[in-house]
Structure 1
């Protein structure tokens, strides 16, 4: 959570991890409030999944300095290339690793599953046995079997407890990592595989059918710790009991093909419908015996996994320790966030255009490729994302798409284009929950498309080069949060003299489209989209920016709702809105007109969705002799299912008075809980007044009117929710009055431990706030706290729709 640099973030209310199974037992035995619910997992569109059929998937296992290193008052590692990822594991070496809610929210926002870790390492043999026996009782004696040939009793206690823990904390399953020998031999390994089967059923019952239990290639069926680096007879029972297997990463280049061949040899009656994509072939970005030596050489290992894909359905990849780009360099002189971002982009998306890749950090001896393995020839460097399809976030009809292009870290905080917080010195903030897409189609370099000739593209000369467009994250100016996306366009002067019929000083009109982010859209559905931008430099006589929705099969006609003109803010930012309707099916025409019907939930199956992109359309003029350039900031991009697609008037007929918005979210009240030292608030929605006599169907016999007096919006996104809340404070003046919310000081945001509707604040923080407000000494001191909501569409509530509470000390 971004927080004022002179304040301290509140503590977590629930354990972040457990070091033993007994700690989990003790926690469950205590009375405690359940954790706040967080953003649930919403699967990506079936159409996106279908488009990637036959290709392997990508799992990322995040192991960074033991985990739980993110700080609200420092810049830390964040992950941003979610569109290539299917599953993300938050890894640590504690017995039970619970992914921080901020990471889970960021993953779910992109349609990615988040897993925790159950790990047993050296000296954990007793806990491995306890896992099977279940919780022991201090008073009751365990039953004993009269048959000595039977195995020890197997309990599903911890299977249920871990499944419940995943459901309570909002993540999607577990990686099981047994890296210590099982002294019970075959009896214990057999029971372990049965326990895994139990756990898999419990996880799917508690979390949902998408819940996952993944086995790490470690212990074999004899109980020995013997990494196999592939699927084979020695680890097969564990694989069949789980959803998938994550192999060790020191495999020779022949193993991916052998693994796939071995899987195909398993009788179909025993295979449990397992496919090659359920085998995650391990690749260690730190090297440590991994083919290619790790780092920027990780692509060499992935190429061998991809070779197996060419011969049918592909194996998947498990990338371990991707934060190598940060951890290996962070203590070196000259290290900063910008240098890391250069390394990170190089690893994931490669260099922009013909630029050479950023020099990779020096690979140490332990990262070298295994010298005992035969070397093989590889082509030039390939980025990680080049091996996997770009998968869009969940359909906006199920989860509104909203991004302010935050990577989850920054140095400032902006609200409606105004800077309300600046970090001190070289500090900054990190909050993964505030992360949005950084634009999954603009890296390493945006694609440029001429607009349709005769539509808006002007006359494009044969062989005319498209303008060069570059992308960058901008931390110095933003609309919301801590950053924006800079798009720069350059049209160089013509290198050749004009033709006899051409005037080199004549103004030429051109129009290009720059895809920003992928989408999946439901057929026959009306959506609202908005874009907030600022032009920072421009050499053209004429520039116009617009939003465009492009289907993979063509364009969607933009349907105006009467409110598509640009709205200018005091800080120079402009907002434009469009409303569009998708064709009723992929077999119909690729353009559509407005659907004048009430909003309805999507009825088409998810695999019938359109794959699309939201693009920036840039129209400009230039003269061939001088060229032109343009630089702009994108501060917000939002797409959501239209709450009310009816073309309602925007003003009261005959008066010119604007009608209130149909649905307005509000903060209803704020209260301060003395015992918990925290602010808590409740939210709701208000509705515009209805006219029963002037609506649809007026003039008919009211009793026989088939049109209802009002139509309720339907679906999961029918009413706006909230992404987060900004918290402000102001001290009472000596005159016993307050200046108002506009004069209050920003002190932080919601979000600690997934608590979206609360904010911890103690007496020390109140004293600091009084000092920041330059409150005078003497008498009772009163601070007024304001809570300002930011909706899941990216709208900041007006102060009239916010609430406050006064706290005295």
Structure 2
């Protein structure tokens, strides 16, 4: 038990952000990675002072290119969720501090977070005394979050002395220059701007400081927030004004100066009802919103079985008291039993965590676990045309293009994730409710598709997207879908609070089919929602209908331009049959969603190598085929409708045998 922590009544919960981190906080040995493998960046404070963008060889692989999308709150899916009150933050460790690949990796066993609709802020959690204290988020996480309108924060972690923390590191962080400024704060601002993320989570837990150090830390936080000009700064309730560590579990005189200097504060996990009420009152006297306080909820060990006094935070009979912050919601992935960490198993559990055991946010099941969908209004980033999705979750067991499986290799890369339905899953029917889920056995593009399967005795309407999309006489919706059993498909479109159903015909076998439906009759209106109604002909039966692509567009745009100046930055051979490569190119002119790389095979055909939203990519193992003398690598720009450009190409020549 740490000094200043609550007593035994909270023995099963966290008293500080340190507890439960285990190996992530201690010096760890990591496997030696190939010399060319780029990783997420991390530093000690003194090291960061020497960082320069022009000398950062991994910067092209770590820079986010997706801007933070605007989003809106549609009418809540149920009567208990509220807009404009409590929000949700999440502290997530996607991988250890060191050895975290910059651009995904060759496994589908990954925390592919996709319930962005309920999140207001994501903290890329990490840092350790043996690796580094300042951790910048990698580009795939930032790109996926930004596509859904969620800002991402890096972490500054000053560990307790018991876990290797040194008070000198705190002094290094808040050191002043000759003009009284804070050079490390200025460097944090520059890192965030250069890498393309949105701010910093400050977690100072090294004890032994004095009032002078506390004042310097307060001024450091204020400098970072003020000079960051729009960057987010979240302060963790650990250090107090005296300079020592004393978790208050509320906003009070001891930590108010830090909250005043920062944008938000993460309240330590020992909070109670009275403490949160007094915190809200104290925030009001500071002319701050109580929803700028995150009440910490530690779910690392027990997930949805965690005991939480939800009525103290988000009471159902009066205004919410504060926001709340999940610590380590990747429990939904980590806690899967060995051999069952498949993408489908993970998403089923993750949807339950965010939507509830009913898997329908329009009617969250009652019980001790109160999922975000029961209290917090979801938000949508689908606000402009063109809009398209292939229901790609950012990881998969293979890769598909136009319905054809072109790679059997598992993969993960969150930057390739689509904007996915925010409400998992609202199904309206008078009969049997079919299952709705992401499926990884077939896809139109990427690694997954949407599957509706099970008994269907009456028509069932599946809600997909809440949107704000302008409709013109030229607007159409494209559905790429197929069904093993006969099913009649209708597009459900809502505008002006009225839902209309447009027939897409009856499907039965024959592979993927694209149906184009005109919205011209709604010209001049704004589209509010998109869904699908399925009916089994006759007296009902079983449905197994798969949606691989949904697109809303006006006129057909020309294919994107190709990327320019593709070249090999560096190559590292692995014998004569494989090589690691670093590639870079100049951005293609015009709007581009992402880039895809593939290897041309002798005699025709391609091998998928990967994709990225940036302008550089690391190929860990280019494989030589049939003794070829050289291998051609292609990079194509892909637009929002998944049209691909003419490829740019570069050749890698293999060593000749002697």
> Structure 2 length normalisation: TM-score?
0.80
Looking at structure 1, the residues matched to 591 and 174 of structure 2 have their Cα atoms a distance apart, in angstroms, of 46
Aligned mate of 2:106, from 73, 81, 91: 73
**Is 1:95–1:120's contact at 8 Å kept on the other side of the alignment?**
yes
* Structure 1 unaligned regions, length at least 5: 1-7, 136-141, 143-152, 288-293, 355-377, 450-464, 493-509, 559-563, 582-591, 596-608, 645-660, 686-718, 732-738
**Is 1:132–1:154's contact at 8 Å kept on the other side of the alignment?**
no
Looking at structure 1, the residues matched to 559 and 232 of structure 2 have their Cα atoms a distance apart, in angstroms, of 38
* Structure 2 unaligned regions, length at least 5: 1-32, 361-365, 572-580
Question: What does residue range 220-239 of structure 1 map to in structure 2 within 5 Å?
Answer: 220-239=240-259
**Is 1:21–1:95's contact at 8 Å kept on the other side of the alignment?**
yes
Give the match's secondary structure for 2:561.
Answer: strand
**Is 2:156–2:202's contact at 8 Å kept on the other side of the alignment?**
yes
In the alignment, what sits opposite 1:296?
304
Deviation at 1:665, TM superposition (A): 1.4
**Is 1:174–1:212's contact at 8 Å kept on the other side of the alignment?**
yes
Question: Is the counterpart of residue 411 in structure 1 residue 397 in structure 2?
Answer: yes
**CA distance 1:478–1:203, shift in 2 (3 Å):** same
**CA distance 1:431–1:516, shift in 2 (3 Å):** same
In the alignment, what sits opposite 2:437?
472
**CA distance 1:85–1:551, shift in 2 (3 Å):** farther
**CA distance 1:439–1:304, shift in 2 (3 Å):** same
In the alignment, what sits opposite 2:350?
344
Question: What does residue range 90-101 of structure 1 map to in structure 2 within 5 Å?
Answer: 90-93=124-127, 94-101=132-139
**Is 1:47–1:611's contact at 8 Å kept on the other side of the alignment?**
no
CA deviation profile, 1:497-539 (whole Å, cap 9, x unmatched): xxxxxxxxxxxxx76532112223358897553321111223x
In the alignment, what sits opposite 1:576?
515
**Is 2:343–2:396's contact at 8 Å kept on the other side of the alignment?**
no
In the alignment, what sits opposite 1:439?
421
Looking at structure 2, the residues matched to 299 and 81 of structure 1 have their Cα atoms a distance apart, in angstroms, of 22
Deviation at 1:475, TM superposition (A): 1.1
Looking at structure 1, the residues matched to 257 and 320 of structure 2 have their Cα atoms a distance apart, in angstroms, of 22
In the alignment, what sits opposite 1:24?
48
Deviation at 1:729, TM superposition (A): 1.9
**Is 1:48–1:611's contact at 8 Å kept on the other side of the alignment?**
no
Looking at structure 1, the residues matched to 346 and 72 of structure 2 have their Cα atoms a distance apart, in angstroms, of 32
Looking at structure 2, the residues matched to 611 and 261 of structure 1 have their Cα atoms a distance apart, in angstroms, of 41
Deviation at 1:194, TM superposition (A): 1.9
Deviation at 1:470, TM superposition (A): 1.7
Question: Is the counterpart of residue 277 in structure 1 residue 277 in structure 2?
Answer: no
How many pairs does the alignment contain? 589
**CA distance 1:683–1:571, shift in 2 (3 Å):** farther
Looking at structure 1, the residues matched to 357 and 335 of structure 2 have their Cα atoms a distance apart, in angstroms, of 20
Looking at structure 1, the residues matched to 270 and 95 of structure 2 have their Cα atoms a distance apart, in angstroms, of 22
Deviation at 1:414, TM superposition (A): 0.6
**CA distance 1:338–1:439, shift in 2 (3 Å):** same
Question: What does residue range 518-533 of structure 1 map to in structure 2 within 5 Å?
Answer: 518-521=466-469, 527-533=475-481
In the alignment, what sits opposite 1:83?
117
Aligned mate of 2:276, from 237, 240, 256: 256
Question: Is the counterpart of residue 383 in structure 1 residue 390 in structure 2?
Answer: no
**CA distance 1:125–1:105, shift in 2 (3 Å):** same
**CA distance 1:610–1:188, shift in 2 (3 Å):** farther
CA deviation profile, 1:115-141 (whole Å, cap 9, x unmatched): 111111133321222222246xxxxxx
Looking at structure 1, the residues matched to 475 and 123 of structure 2 have their Cα atoms a distance apart, in angstroms, of 33
Deviation at 1:95, TM superposition (A): 1.1
Deviation at 1:104, TM superposition (A): 0.5
Deviation at 1:310, TM superposition (A): 4.4
Question: Is the counterpart of residue 548 in structure 1 residue 492 in structure 2?
Answer: yes
Question: Is the counterpart of residue 173 in structure 1 residue 153 in structure 2?
Answer: no
Deviation at 1:274, TM superposition (A): 1.2
In the alignment, what sits opposite 1:43?
70
CA deviation profile, 1:613-662 (whole Å, cap 9, x unmatched): 21113355313xxx32221111122335x3x5xxxxxxxxxxxxxxxx55
Looking at structure 2, the residues matched to 95 and 479 of structure 1 have their Cα atoms a distance apart, in angstroms, of 42
Looking at structure 1, the residues matched to 584 and 75 of structure 2 have their Cα atoms a distance apart, in angstroms, of 39
Deviation at 1:73, TM superposition (A): 1.5
**Is 1:490–1:630's contact at 8 Å kept on the other side of the alignment?**
yes
Report the structure number with the largest CA radius of gyration: 1
Looking at structure 2, the residues matched to 160 and 631 of structure 1 have their Cα atoms a distance apart, in angstroms, of 55
Looking at structure 2, the residues matched to 311 and 325 of structure 1 have their Cα atoms a distance apart, in angstroms, of 30
Looking at structure 2, the residues matched to 525 and 162 of structure 1 have their Cα atoms a distance apart, in angstroms, of 49
In the alignment, what sits opposite 2:456?
491
Looking at structure 2, the residues matched to 46 and 525 of structure 1 have their Cα atoms a distance apart, in angstroms, of 27
**Is 2:83–2:376's contact at 8 Å kept on the other side of the alignment?**
no
Deviation at 1:97, TM superposition (A): 1.0
In the alignment, what sits opposite 1:515?
463
Give the match's secondary structure for 2:197.
Answer: coil
Question: Is the counterpart of residue 63 in structure 1 residue 93 in structure 2?
Answer: yes
Give the match's secondary structure for 1:116.
Answer: strand
Looking at structure 1, the residues matched to 356 and 73 of structure 2 have their Cα atoms a distance apart, in angstroms, of 28
Deviation at 1:217, TM superposition (A): 0.3
Looking at structure 1, the residues matched to 42 and 513 of structure 2 have their Cα atoms a distance apart, in angstroms, of 48
In the alignment, what sits opposite 1:246?
266
Give the match's secondary structure for 2:215.
Answer: helix
Give the match's secondary structure for 2:226.
Answer: helix
Give the match's secondary structure for 2:326.
Answer: strand
Looking at structure 2, the residues matched to 52 and 632 of structure 1 have their Cα atoms a distance apart, in angstroms, of 33
Flag as ranges the 4+ runs of structure 1 deviating above 6 A.
46-49, 523-526, 564-568
Aligned mate of 1:124, from 166, 169, 184: 166
**Is 2:568–2:650's contact at 8 Å kept on the other side of the alignment?**
no
Aligned Cα root-mean-square deviation (Å): 3.5
In the alignment, what sits opposite 1:360?
none
Looking at structure 2, the residues matched to 730 and 670 of structure 1 have their Cα atoms a distance apart, in angstroms, of 22
**CA distance 1:804–1:65, shift in 2 (3 Å):** closer
**CA distance 1:432–1:537, shift in 2 (3 Å):** same
Deviation at 1:23, TM superposition (A): 1.7
CA deviation profile, 1:637-691 (whole Å, cap 9, x unmatched): 2335x3x5xxxxxxxxxxxxxxxx5522132556433656544445657xxxxxx
> Structure 1 length normalisation: TM-score?
0.66
**Is 1:280–1:317's contact at 8 Å kept on the other side of the alignment?**
yes
In the alignment, what sits opposite 2:596?
725
Looking at structure 2, the residues matched to 523 and 345 of structure 1 have their Cα atoms a distance apart, in angstroms, of 31
Indicate the larger mover: 69-78 or 629-638.
Answer: 69-78
**CA distance 1:27–1:550, shift in 2 (3 Å):** same
Deviation at 1:261, TM superposition (A): 3.0
Looking at structure 1, the residues matched to 495 and 311 of structure 2 have their Cα atoms a distance apart, in angstroms, of 31
Aligned mate of 1:667, from 538, 559, 562: 562
Looking at structure 1, the residues matched to 359 and 423 of structure 2 have their Cα atoms a distance apart, in angstroms, of 14
CA deviation profile, 1:199-253 (whole Å, cap 9, x unmatched): 112222xxxx3x3101100011111200011111110000011111001112234
**CA distance 1:329–1:477, shift in 2 (3 Å):** closer
Deviation at 1:275, TM superposition (A): 0.5
Looking at structure 2, the residues matched to 671 and 19 of structure 1 have their Cα atoms a distance apart, in angstroms, of 31
Aligned mate of 1:634, from 547, 570, 588: 547
**CA distance 1:228–1:684, shift in 2 (3 Å):** closer
**CA distance 1:526–1:129, shift in 2 (3 Å):** farther
CA deviation profile, 1:704-741 (whole Å, cap 9, x unmatched): xxxxxxxxxxxxxxx6423331312224xxxxxxx4xx
Looking at structure 2, the residues matched to 299 and 524 of structure 1 have their Cα atoms a distance apart, in angstroms, of 50
**Is 1:750–1:758's contact at 8 Å kept on the other side of the alignment?**
no
Question: Is the counterpart of residue 323 in structure 1 residue 330 in structure 2?
Answer: yes
Looking at structure 1, the residues matched to 530 and 117 of structure 2 have their Cα atoms a distance apart, in angstroms, of 15
